[in-house]
Structures are given as C-alpha cells and as structure tokens.
Structure 1
C-alpha cells in the first residue's frame, strides 16, 4: 500500500510535526507500507532514507492565489497514493483533501496545533491583506475538517475546540510518541541547566526566556537556548542581546540526538510559546526526568493533573516557578520521576499502532 505524507521528513526541516512524520514513516515502512513525502523545498532534493518529491512556490504569496494548485495536484497524481496523511491544516492540506475526494481514496488529517481548530478574531488583524489571508486560512480549515475521511487529534482539548468551532469531533486521539531514551541520565547539581528548545519565531516568544534569564541572573543557573534562527532583524537583535547576558547562551540548531543528550544533563525545561499542539519537547524532557515549566501551554491539563511541571500563565509566576525548582533539588527529582513514568505510559511508540489500525481497517 502506498501512503503519501504531505510534509517534509525531519532531515530536511527540524520541526515538531516533521519529527513525528519521520517517526511514523519509519514505523510504517517496517510494517511493509510504501511511504512517500511531498513538500515545499527551495533546492533539488534527494534523500537516502525516503521517497521524496518537492514543489516550489514561485512567489511569496501565490499560495493564496491558487497559482501552484496544478503543480501540486499533478505531483500527487504522479505518486498515485492509496491514502494521504497530513499533519497540520494549510493550503496543501486542502489540495490533498480535494484529491482524495475526487479519486475516492482516504484522507487522514492530523491536528498539529491549536491554530488548526480555532477560529480567528477580526479584532487582532492589523490590515486588510492580513484579514484576507486569515479568512482564506479559515475557509481551508472548514473544507478540510468537513471533507477529511478521518481526523486525528493529539489531545482531547483539540477535539473539543474542533467540535465547538467546526461541529466535528476527532475520530481518534493519538498522543505524540517518542522512542525511549538511550542516553545516560546524569546531572551535576552544582550548576542548574535550564533549557529552551524551539526555532526563533514570534509565536515561540524567545524574548520571554531571555527576560527570565535576566530576572534570575544572581543564582547558580545556566540558561541555554537551542534552535534555528532567521536572518531577519528581529532574530539577529535577540542573538545580539543574548551575547551580553552572562548566564545565558545560544548554541544554535542541534540534531535531535544532541538535544536529547542536553536534556539528559539538564534540570529544567521552559516553554514560552503562545500556542502549540502537544509539544514534542515536553515528551523529550519528561522521558529524561526533566520538569517542564510552561508559560501558556498545558494540553489537557497534563502538567497540573499529573504534577509533572508547572503551567505558570504569567511571566512573574514563571519566574517564581523556575526559581522554586532551582532551589529545591528534591522537588526537581520528584517531579522528574513522575514525568518519566507519565511519558513512558502515555507517549511510547505503542501509540502508532492506533494509526496503523485506522489505515488498515479503512483500506481492507
């Protein structure tokens, strides 16, 4: 059976959805499925691990003018899949959904972020062009949610939001999954390492972590930022600011193996994003006994309910929560042990079997 994943594998773009796509692909191929990737990339590509195809937007905003519709549709036809899977809802998801509807094959939409199931407030829009873009995105959301054969959510709250905003519930809840850690977990409590792992985007709010490091500059904590930056002025200004803060360092984008190694030696993980789906970094941290402090995100209240970290909700409370963990090694260890137990139980590779069953049952 040929499965098309409308996204990049992790080797080409190091994001949370891409990591999950690659994990799923590896598992599907071991089960005998023929897996292909189709994604936007500026250069010619060849992967040693996967069947990959690329499309190229010819202009920055032409995805909203349908000028690349036929390019993408023809590529999907060339691949001729038996089923299409897409994580996250966007312009390409809409094309995939339409292709499946016309050709009467299953389409599986997997919610990747709260944005996929929310509606947009006109009050936050700055200009007419932004209004048109947001209106277009919401039309795509409605089309995909209405016409997908199956919708998979990462957490219950996503299914509840989709029911509220789009009158449809998820067919399945499948939490993100990760391999069990292979690193030796050992920490030096002489210097507390506090990690922030994300690409520098405004929705990730890296400036909040920078402010956190400034607030806690007098302790014995070392703050470390990991992730890809952009050449834009906003990112470069942040990098320059980091250089002048003694207890803060930026070490760039790292491989997943290096990120997991850093977590295995770290003490606290901090998330400052405005919104996400279910962050992979939460799971990576928990599996390595690292408590999570999250400014805005607590999917299905897992941090609060399972006592595996803090959902701070405000910057001042985040400073307080991080400082509490810095000063209390016994508390860090207790939360870390609970976090690993929770992650092993709820986010193992066993979760992918639910997706396999969905695919196999629909194509029999």
Structure 2
C-alpha cells in the first residue's frame, strides 16, 4: 500500500449490519450516513479507509470492497474490556483522520485521544438536540463535560442544517460546516406513483418518534392502507415494543413490519403514496431523503429542517397538530394532480440537495485541507 495514502477511520459501532446483510442488528440514520459516506469516499484512490464497529461475531477484521472493517468490543462486555478493545481498534486502524457522528461522552474522549496522538478529529452532528441544549439536560455533570469536549477539541464540526449551524455558534461558540446528508440516487419515474395507495411510516420504536400517533392516524382513516416499519430500538423495553405491536394489530388497515433489510427498504418508499413522520424532533431524517428520492411526498407533524417542505413544496408541515396531519393526508390522497406535483418536486429536491457523492466530495475537500 502506498505510504502517500491518507488514512481515514470512521467510527460507528452499530453500523456493522449495513455491511453484513446476514446480521439483523438495529441501526439508525447516523450509521447509514457514515456507511454511505465510506462507500462514496472509497472512490478516492489516495484514501485508505477503515471503519470501526462493535463486535457482532466472526473475524475481527473484514474487507468490504476497499473498506477495512475493524471489530472492537461486544455490547455486553464490561466497561474495562470495552475501553481496552476500543483503544486497540484505534491502534489497529493506524489512522491520522477520524470521523464520528452522534453525540456521546465517548465522542469527547475520542476527540481528546486524537488531540493527544496528533490525529485529526471530525465530528458530525446527528440531531438538533446536540446543539439546542436538550441533550445536556438528561445527563450528569461528568458525561456533559465529556460530551461537550467534542466541540472544543474537534478539528472540524459538520452540521446537517442551518438551524444546527446557528445554534452551535450561539450556544457553544463553535463554527461549523454544513454538509447535507445524502444517498446514492437512482432515476425516478413519476408515472409509477399513480396506482399506489398505502401510507408509510419508517423508524425505530423510540418513544420520541411517537409511533402511536401513526397508529392513531391509520385508525382514523379506514379507507386507506397503512404500512409501519418499526424495528425495536436498541435500548427499548420488550414491554413497550409489544405494546406497540398489539396496538397496531388492532387496526385492520395497518400492517406492522418489524424489520426490513437496508438494501430492501427503498421499494417501500417507491411504492408508497405518502410518507409520514411523527417525531418530536430530529436532525435531518434519513427517511426524508429516502422518501424524496423516490418521489414520495412527506407529511411531518413536527420536523421541517430549514423549512424545506414549504420552500420546495414537497409535503406539508403540520405544526404538531394531529387534525392538520389528518386533513393534509386526505387532501394529498384525494387530489391526484396535487400529489403528482409534490411527487415531482420531492424528487427534484433530492437530486439538488442530497446526492451522497456531492456530500462526500465536500467532506473530502475539508479534511484534506486540514493542516
């Protein structure tokens, strides 16, 4: 291997199921974005890319195309074992640039390790709560101190939207760079939308995603078909998840789907007439890109980053009003002309804003410019 290559290491412990289709572990949008960025960045021949994940079994080091997968610790390991195995993974990567996404006390520790070793550290904000102060309210002093260290010691901080950028400067006095989340895009055919008739919801079962509201929406609209893809979140209780399944099972026009592999999820977005988001808050949901790149209009209860649903006319923001959510659902299903217009707008928005190759190039240009 050429010594002139830049050594880049991406850290995302729950991302392994994205690389191994036989592993059914649960992951979120942050893992998806780093997985896609790794693939896009691997096109650069001057990069040697490694990717640290948790140990899901099998070989400790695997190759995925040009990406070296390094397994660190098992989630059930004790704290000492986790720390030692993770440090060993960092050494195995032998990298001089590290990238991590989603705020955690470990983010601050990793940024400190990089500073001590003389490596560069790039942190990518995953959620609005990381910049608006809400994340800090739910953790103790030491964890808060460690988590906030990431904004002090990172060489670059990347945000997903303008709101995060402004809040980070206001609340943390930290400058940042805006790189929008992205996906690999395929050609969309608007005519395929005319015969579709189900309403889609996709997310983990976390309570702040408010899955029960979608169940209520389905119950209020027995004439329409609904599909709910809702894998159990990593830290959710069986009691909560079984409650959701039972509640969904009582709605005859709602299909509850526990898990869909990542490489099969696109067909659900492509065949949906409308995508619904009921979360209390988010950063920029991956599902918004999955919906728009497949020409599926969005109905959002609370989440409208940078007001894009209104600006690009690719859906409706309902301002936390269930009645408005229900009203706009019926409007979009009942007005074919309006639906087709929003479908076309959604796809054009995705092409303009969320091409992963463009996002990867922005990131590449930033970290190659670090001194």
1:51 to 64, 68, 80: 68
Superposition CA RMSD, Å: 2.4
Aligned to 2:208: 203
Residues 139 and 315 of structure 1: CA distance in aligned 2, closer, same or farther (over 3 Å): farther
Aligned to 2:230: 227
Structure 2 unaligned runs (5+)? 1-5, 21-25
TM-score (norm 2): 0.86
Q: Within 2, Cα distance between the matches of 1:315 and 1:44?
A: 47
SS of 2:132's equivalent in the other structure is: coil
2:31 to 8, 18, 31: 18
Structure 1 unaligned runs (5+)? 126-130
Residues 134 and 260 of structure 1: CA distance in aligned 2, closer, same or farther (over 3 Å): farther
1:44 positional shift: 4.6
Aligned to 1:153: 159
Counting only pairs closer than 5 Å after superposition, residues 1-364 of structure 1 correspond to structure 2 as 1-7=6-12, 8-9=15-16, 10-11=18-19, 13-32=26-45, 33-41=47-55, 43-44=57-58, 47-49=62-64, 50-52=67-69, 53-57=71-75, 62=79, 68-120=82-134, 133-170=139-176, 172-181=177-186, 187=192, 189=194, 192-217=197-222, 219=223, 221-229=224-232, 232-313=238-319, 314-348=321-355, 349-362=357-370
Tell me the matched-pair count: 348
1:318 positional shift: 1.2
1:286 positional shift: 0.8
Aligned to 1:128: none
TM-score (norm 1): 0.88
Residues 202 and 76 of structure 1: CA distance in aligned 2, closer, same or farther (over 3 Å): same
Q: Within 2, Cα distance between the matches of 1:145 and 1:283?
A: 27
205-214 or 174-183, which moves further after superposition?
A: 174-183
1:216 positional shift: 1.4
Residues 278 and 250 of structure 1: CA distance in aligned 2, closer, same or farther (over 3 Å): same
SS of 1:4's equivalent in the other structure is: strand
